[in-house]
Amino acid sequence: MLPSNNIQSIVGATLFGTDDDKIGRIAHVLVDAADGHPTWAVVNVGTLTRHSTFVPLNDATWENDDVSVPFSKDVVKHAPRIESDGGLDPAQEQELVSYYSTGSPTDTSGAAPEGAPDTSLGRHEEPR
C-alpha cells in the first residue's frame, strides 16, 4: 500500500513494473480530492526519447522506498501521452483508465467507469 499520509515520499521514487523492470522516476503524484489517496503518478520514462506518462497507482505497492505497479515497462512506455497542467480532466482520465484496463488505446464514450476515483485531483511535485 502506498503512503497516503506522506505523498512527498513517493515523489522521486523509482517505479518498477512486472518482472522488476525499472520503468522510471516518479515526478508528480495526483491524489483523489475526496480521500487524499494517491491515484496517478507522472513518470519520466525512456532513455533516448525521454517523456512523461501517467500510471495508475490503485494497485501499486510500496517497498524499500520504491513503487511497483502491475504493468510491464512496455505498457507504461506506450501509454497515451497526455499534456497536463497538473491534473487530469475526466476525458483524459477515462482515456488512461481504458488503456490500462486493456493494455492498449480504445475508443471511449467519455463516461467514467463505475467506482472510478474522483477526478478533481491535486498535484504533488518533486522538490527542486
Question: Which residues touch 76 (CB under 8 Å, ≥6 apart)?
Answer: 15, 17, 23, 24, 43, 45, 53, 55, 69
Copy the grid coordinates of residue 25.
522516476
* Per-residue DSSP letter, 117: P
Mean pLDDT value across residues 6-13: 88
pLDDT for 45? 86
Q: What digits encode the pLDDT tens for the residues 48-83?
A: 777 889 999 999 999 988 999 999 999 999 999 888
State whether residue 108 is helix, strand or coil. coil
pLDDT for 102? 80
Assess whether pLDDT exceeds 80 at residue 85.
no
Backbone angles phi, psi at 55, to 5 degrees: -135, 130
Query: pTM of the full predicted structure?
Result: 0.75
Task: Classify residue 109 as exposed, middle or buried by CB count within 10 Å of its CB (0-12, 13-18, 19+).
Answer: exposed
State whether residue 59 is helix, strand or coil. coil
pLDDT for 110? 39
Assess whether pLDDT exceeds 80 at residue 116.
no
Which class in CATH covers the domain with range 7-105?
alpha beta
